[in-house]
Structure 1
Amino acid sequence: MSAVEKAAPAVQLPEIGQAFGGGFFSGITIENGQRFASITAGAEHELVGEWGKYGEKIEGADSFTDSRSNTEAMAAAGSELAQKVLALDIGGFTDWAIPARDVQELQYRHFKPTSRENYCWNRDGDNPNSLPVGLLYTEESPAKTQVPGFAEGEPETFQARWYWSSSQRSADFAFYMYFADGNQNSFGKYNELRVRPVRRSLID
């Protein structure tokens, strides 16, 4: 262990679903060798809207991990949904974003609201940018969440609906996740879907 590592205070992360950083701890992502705590906003802060303009490729909105840079690019291109998320002030934190694809996968993995079999096709569940690495879903895994606060009928429960990610697929499409069964695919940007905002905090 280096002198810097010895001097740096250890970050004490809570359990999944516990209050943290203005929201609730929802897992760890890795980007450029750095680890980030992913934080999901409470259900009361969900928004609904179109991703953006159909047929317009937005530069800088293609990351699977950097939710904030994606959202800022969307907002700069005129996305009202992204602009509303960037304007959020939750618990004194103002760096909220629409979750990037692999950040959103952590939300489903830990907070799945239904007992339906998971959708097992293409890349559903494959998440090389999480810690631990996310594996392809099976019909049974992940299971319906039992995390306090997010379990069925509790205040922070996700709805069994489609949620936008901020990760662009093409000029016409962006990635979404269906929280009823974990289907990860892409929709036309003109569709109105839900968003559960996120922010992140650097661990190391």
Structure 2
Amino acid sequence: MSIPASIKASELPAFGQQFAGGTLFTRQWYGDKEYALVALGADTELSGVWGEYGQDVATNHGDGEANTRAMAEAGSELAAKVLVLEAFIPSALESHQMMFAKQLGYLTDLREDAWYYTSTQYSADYAFLMDFEDGWQDYYVKGTERLARPVRKILILH
């Protein structure tokens, strides 16, 4: 499957529809560029540790792609595996957007019996987690094995 680098806004499918190997769940601005965010399916979920306990990795609450690259550069095997899929681990903000898309019925295959890693670090020892049963976000030690749901972002041309 060919993953498009960009798409015209007028050609985007509706939220909840298949696109770029997953399900389109939101549109998000990063600086002056807008992107379509696509959650890959449950069959692409990976499990692993966030990274090394005590290692401070520069991450932020909004840009999961930048966070995942920083995680991989710091030695995270989980992040490296997600990047091979031409995807990233969603940030704390992007994970909340996934929860909203779940509530609207756009994402229907997020597990409710497990916590998912976000790519946002809480501290050198902890990372933010997302619970898709109730939408809770919390933090826990980075050395615990958790799920990660790969996400892609495709540039929207205006």
TM-score (norm 2): 0.87
Q: What aligned pairs does 1:29-178 form with structure 2 within 5 A after superposition?
A: 29-59=28-58, 62-88=59-85, 95-111=86-102, 143=103, 146-147=105-106, 150=108, 157-160=109-112, 161-178=114-131
Amino acid at match of 1:99: P
Whole-angstrom CA distance in 2 between matches of 1:50 and 1:189 = 6
Whole-angstrom CA distance in 1 between matches of 2:121 and 2:151 = 17
Amino acid at match of 2:142: K
Higher strand residue share: 2
Q: Which runs of 4+ in 1 moved over 4 A?
A: none
Q: What aligned pairs does 1:184-203 form with structure 2 within 5 A after superposition?
A: 184-203=137-156
Deviates more, 1:28-37 or 1:168-177: 28-37
Whole-angstrom CA distance in 1 between matches of 2:9 and 2:79 = 34
- Segments of 5+ residues of structure 1 without an aligned counterpart are 1-8, 89-94, 112-142, 151-156
Contact preservation (8 Å) 1:11, 1:203: no
Whole-angstrom CA distance in 2 between matches of 1:47 and 1:106 = 20
Whole-angstrom CA distance in 2 between matches of 1:146 and 1:74 = 31
**Equivalent position SS for 1:11:** helix
Amino acid at match of 2:27: I
Partner of 1:182: 135
Whole-angstrom CA distance in 1 between matches of 2:11 and 2:98 = 20
Contact preservation (8 Å) 1:52, 1:79: yes
Whole-angstrom CA distance in 2 between matches of 1:146 and 1:39 = 14
Whole-angstrom CA distance in 2 between matches of 1:165 and 1:109 = 15
The percentage of counterpart residues that share the same residue type is: 39
Whole-angstrom CA distance in 2 between matches of 1:24 and 1:200 = 11
Please report how far the alpha carbon of residue 10 of structure 1 lies from its aligned counterpart in structure 2 after TM superposition: 4.1
Larger Rg: 1
TM-score (norm 1): 0.68
CA RMSD of aligned residues (A): 1.6
**Equivalent position SS for 1:177:** strand
